[in-house]
Structure 1
Amino acid sequence: MIQGLFSGFSETIQQNLGWTPEQATIIAERILKLAEGKLYPVTFQARQIYSRKLNIGKDKIEKILTVYSHELSSVNSNFHIPQDLSQISPENYFQHKPLIRLSKDEYLLTSSSICSPAFYKAIVSELRAKVESKINDKLGDKIEDFIKGEFLRRGIRFNFGKYSGTQKGKVDEIDIVVEASNTLIFFEVKAKPLTRRSRCGSDLNLLFDLSDSLLTSQIQINKHEIYIRKNGSISLKNGSIFELNDRDIAQVSITLLDFGSFQDRTVVFQLLENMLLGKVEASDDVNKVEKLNKKLNDFKLQFNELVQLDPTRAKNPFYNCWFLSVPQLLILLDNVNSSDDLKRELWRTRSITTSSLDFYREYEYARELAAARDST
């Protein structure tokens, strides 16, 4: 996945940093292989990474290991209480790099499951600092391409592209729409991560992050749903046409990395319902607050229009909405070989909750229940 996301930057990264995304991916896989099946911190020597089979020089491996590792004396420096999280410099924040360098040749991986996303974050931080300052803005298209590739591999039928919107001269764009037998599933992809300020308890910054991910994607998908409910079909500028044909509509907002409990369906329902009720007032970040309130107003207007077009929407307004990360989507895709399979796996998580706020556990539990039912 890392290799695919950064493939377009390979030549620039090679010139500026002396290594490629492909090589960084190989080293990450090598490290995770050393920790495979181990539920405890793992230490390793740099020489355990060296191998002629890798066809990567020691100098490049050293550079990549440096990108991936904290110095022992600096990791989480001055981190005493959760609120300190936003004050720690990015290079010292533990979750931004997967390894801790114990000595010149020895490294520590505290947990492969917890630290795995940090391989990606370490690369992004390095690219942002030394290659492309607006790297996040360019990753959205890469994420879409990655998901499309995964869909193609599994025989999932989908469309994407631009079309003439309801407003004169306005062009809207569908990231991905999957056509299942009785459902259209719209996917909207956002690269926006959950920032450190949100993680340390800043309610206002959390609202900003959710606005730039969940709310923005819902507003964009609502445009598509309103259009197709009014017109019965959408004609894309690439020549493709797809019709509603009395099918149900599902909305899936996709982020690159996990947003934790905020991607639990019960929490998503509550968030979206609250976004219909009022506006935000704050003395800080006035411009951001104004933009957020503009989105909230647009969201309310869209909701009222959708209820008029589909009165059943008023009873369970967000029952067909999902907020997933790419890793969560990939877990679903492990059991998918068609568009209808994708709809089935999504629907497994639709009505089941254990209040764990853990998508992975709840999806596993849903599959266990289905297997037990099918065996009787």
Structure 2
Amino acid sequence: MQDLDDQVQKLRAIYLDSATTVPMKDEAAANKALEAYQSLQHAPDRLFDLLIVLENTDQTVGTVRSLANHFFLANVLDNVSEPIAEALNNIAACLPGIAQPDGTRIPSGPVQPGASPSPQVTAFVKALDNESAWLEAMLIGRAFTVLKRFPFSNARTKAVADAATRIKRFGYAFSIRSGRYQISPEVIENIVGQIWKCLQRVGSLNALSNIMRVALETQDYAYEQILFGRKYAGGLGYRPPGLPIGLLYNIAVKLPALGSNERNARSFWDKAVCLARDLVAMLDLESYSQFAFLGLNAETLEDGLREVAHYDHCFSLRQWHLSFTPQFLTIFFGESFDGDMKQRLGWNVADAIELAQVLKAHAAPGTQVVPISRLVETGFDLGIFKSMLPFFAHKEGEANKHYRSPFGAAGPDVIFKPLILLKGNSVVLPAASVLGPALFEATFAAWRTNKTDQEIARLRGDAAERLTKYIFTKHDFQPSFESAIYDLGEQGAGECDLVFEDEENIILVECKAKALTRGAMTGMQGDALLDFAGGLFASQAQALRHERILRSVGAIHFRDGTSLELRDRHITRLTVTLLDHGALQDRWMLRNVYNALLSAQFTCDPGYTKKKQVEEFNTHLRLFQKETRLLEATGQHINAHPLNAGSASVAQLDVLLDSVQSLTEVRTRLSARMTFSTFNVLLEHFHQQKMRSQGQPSYVGNSRS
């Protein structure tokens, strides 16, 4: 397969050769160039004959579209590439993705009732080495451009190019390679530094207040949290890039509390917002279409997962409903550590739970400043509170002190403490929704200071199962099986963490304690893939074996003599993670990458620090691929496998199970056969509940324009 940059150089030469040989300045010249094709049905048919082949050239109409996008982006830098982009866009508009097995075009038109679908194969595009074919194709593409047949209409590429144009005007340097803008780490840090300087004029308190106000104005709010999610332009329409709330938040917490009293603070805020929006737009993380991830294959899987995790860092915040925090801390830690922590730290888990309850009384969806005297006036011991402050509060200007870039894995540490301590004995309470996870992180960090890695892993793993069981029990569902081990010889061995069942349903629950790493959040190569592997994917691969045995044998016989029988019931495979994994958690992301996973295996350099995790991922991949083949052999269609899946963090599960009356309703909420393509578990639930309350029919679509 030719490198995209090599293809770019060849196409540029072909275009220049065509433009020199046959100049085309107006419609008369374009029509004259197309006269030779009047004897054919249409000039588009000639493009099919010129470029479509059945031989695998590793180039399809998608390749042509990617090249058109590259030239459209390159035009920002050279001001001469847009005509090439337009010509390629016109060529791509006439090429199919599939053809008949004999290499002819599939006839267009409605399918006749009762008619068998026509056989089809992938339509490949001739290599650029066939210059005569491409020269003639370029001539037709140029003529169509002049005649305005198929104007360039990629909303994503246009938005990225517009952002790059504005960044260029500010004097920041960048280049283009393989269809993406390349910005050096130094330039990115300079832009982030400029955003920081602008926000410094506003001050941390005003900046955080503005950020949360905009977030609440532009996003849905429910379940005590802001429901960040992907948004799309209507149809192929244009929309401007989104506002990177996460990036602005991570910069704002670094600032001194008060601004420099500039009269033009508003203009500095506006400049910071524009710079942040354009920088992230150039990183090309946003999805402007619901179908953005449908084309992911084994080669593009890592890039795609990295982009969705990095998007979450730049555009959203890590949250859960604050009212859940006391329950989370109680079930996670229990009471066995209280004595040791009290002696060692001066406070314990019970005090952290009381702090969570105190903060809930003062917190709000937006940013609050609360005097410490108000926090302790309800009876919270002032001495205990002061002993907790070093663990639960960043000093003013210390949060995210090393955050210089959205790619800095070591930078975002604001997520590990809930408060910011101001001079004058006051604290900043960020949005209530971000306090919960941070309260847990602070308590956990204090507990683990004298613990071994084995003790830490054991607590997290056991707690994930305890919390999952607690939430189901809280909503009146008791497990039929817990940590049930089986070894069925050739059929396979495994362990079911939790199983819930009734006359119509079997819900296979696998609990995972793995957290989303800061490397995945900030776009580090490989980290998002491994977090996806160790969270959603590993558990789904394990549960797939449980399902396959049930469908092929009819029952799983456990070592303790009990049995789980299929009895023709619905099977749902549920992954529950300790903490939210963002879009990597969403079951429709699993659906989009399902086929890619069936053919993937991954390698790494010998010195890669996470080589063991790569090996574990490949082990799970082989299990997943084997179980998928065996399930297909039982008559299960491959497309059914991801639709039987569900996924949620324990905090999300607590919301999803609210007011459910049966396991059938649980199944419906966990594995709805529809999506709004928001890639947010709770936002999907929000829209589905809203739709049902309004009595609307089910459909697949996006959440809002």
What TM-score does the superposition give when structure 1 sets the normalisation length?
0.88
Kindly provide the amino acid, as one letter, of the partner of residue 9 in structure 1: F
| Residue 351 of structure 2, aligned match among 11, 23, 27 | 23
> Do structure 1's residue 42 and structure 2's residue 365 form an aligned pair?
no
| Residue 410 of structure 2, aligned match among 58, 78, 87 | 87
Kindly provide the amino acid, as one letter, of the partner of residue 110 in structure 1: P
Q: Which residue of 2 aligns with 1:343?
A: 667
Cα distance in 2, alignment partners of residues 305 and 235 from structure 1: 19
Deviations 1:289-341 (A, max 9, x none): 233222212221121112112x2332333111122111111111112243333
Residue 53 to residue 202, structure 1, CA distance change in 2 (3 Å): same
Q: Which residue of 2 aligns with 1:248?
A: 570
Residue 83 to residue 344, structure 1, CA distance change in 2 (3 Å): closer
- Give the conservation status (yes or no) of the 8 Å contact 2:520–2:528: yes
Q: Which residue of 2 aligns with 1:125?
A: 445
Cα drift, residue 141 of structure 1: 1.5
- DSSP-derived class of the 1:178 partner: strand
Q: Which residue of 2 aligns with 1:10?
A: 338
Which of 244-253 and 141-150 deviates more? 141-150
Which residues in structure 2 correspond to 1:306-317 (within 5 Å)? 306-309=631-634, 311-317=635-641
Cα drift, residue 171 of structure 1: 5.9
Cα drift, residue 175 of structure 1: 0.9
Q: Which residue of 2 aligns with 1:290?
A: 615
- DSSP-derived class of the 1:252 partner: strand
Kindly provide the amino acid, as one letter, of the partner of residue 42 in structure 1: Q
Q: Which residue of 2 aligns with 1:366?
A: 688
Residue 144 to residue 287, structure 1, CA distance change in 2 (3 Å): closer
Cα distance in 2, alignment partners of residues 305 and 104 from structure 1: 66
Which of 271-280 and 236-245 deviates more? 236-245
- DSSP-derived class of the 2:642 partner: coil
| Residue 513 of structure 2, aligned match among 182, 185, 191 | 191
Higher RCO (C-alpha under 8 Å, 6+ residues apart)? 1
Which residues in structure 2 correspond to 1:1-376 (within 5 Å)? 1-7=328-334, 8-35=336-363, 38-51=364-377, 53-54=379-380, 57-84=381-408, 86-88=409-411, 93-103=413-423, 105-131=425-451, 133=453, 134-159=455-480, 160-167=482-489, 172-238=494-560, 240-283=562-605, 284-285=608-609, 286-309=611-634, 311-347=635-671, 350-373=672-695
Kindly provide the amino acid, as one letter, of the partner of residue 393 in structure 2: S
Cα distance in 2, alignment partners of residues 166 and 301 from structure 1: 16
- Give the conservation status (yes or no) of the 8 Å contact 1:166–1:227: no
Cα drift, residue 254 of structure 1: 0.9
Kindly provide the amino acid, as one letter, of the partner of residue 105 in structure 1: N
- DSSP-derived class of the 1:313 partner: coil
Residue 93 to residue 296, structure 1, CA distance change in 2 (3 Å): same
- DSSP-derived class of the 1:139 partner: helix
Cα drift, residue 374 of structure 1: 8.6
Cα distance in 2, alignment partners of residues 112 and 206 from structure 1: 27
- DSSP-derived class of the 2:600 partner: coil
Kindly provide the amino acid, as one letter, of the partner of residue 29 in structure 1: Q
Cα drift, residue 157 of structure 1: 4.0
Residue 317 to residue 151, structure 1, CA distance change in 2 (3 Å): closer
Cα distance in 1, alignment partners of residues 476 and 612 from structure 2: 44
Calculate the aligned-residue CA RMSD, in Å. 2.5
Residue 47 to residue 237, structure 1, CA distance change in 2 (3 Å): farther
Cα distance in 2, alignment partners of residues 114 and 368 from structure 1: 25
Deviations 1:127-175 (A, max 9, x none): 2224454424322212212222232232224222323322389863211
Question: Structure 1: which 5+ residue stretches go unaligned?
Answer: none
Kindly provide the amino acid, as one letter, of the partner of residue 216 in structure 1: A
Question: Structure 2: which 5+ residue stretches go unaligned?
Answer: 1-327, 698-705
Residue 33 to residue 238, structure 1, CA distance change in 2 (3 Å): farther
Cα distance in 1, alignment partners of residues 451 and 655 from structure 2: 32
Residue 287 to residue 59, structure 1, CA distance change in 2 (3 Å): same
Cα distance in 2, alignment partners of residues 2 and 138 from structure 1: 12
Cα distance in 1, alignment partners of residues 546 and 405 from structure 2: 44
Cα distance in 2, alignment partners of residues 169 and 12 from structure 1: 47
Kindly provide the amino acid, as one letter, of the partner of residue 420 in structure 2: I
Cα drift, residue 23 of structure 1: 1.5
Cα distance in 2, alignment partners of residues 270 and 366 from structure 1: 20
Kindly provide the amino acid, as one letter, of the partner of residue 433 in structure 2: S
- DSSP-derived class of the 1:80 partner: coil
- DSSP-derived class of the 2:331 partner: helix
Q: Point out the structure with max Rg over C-alpha.
A: 2
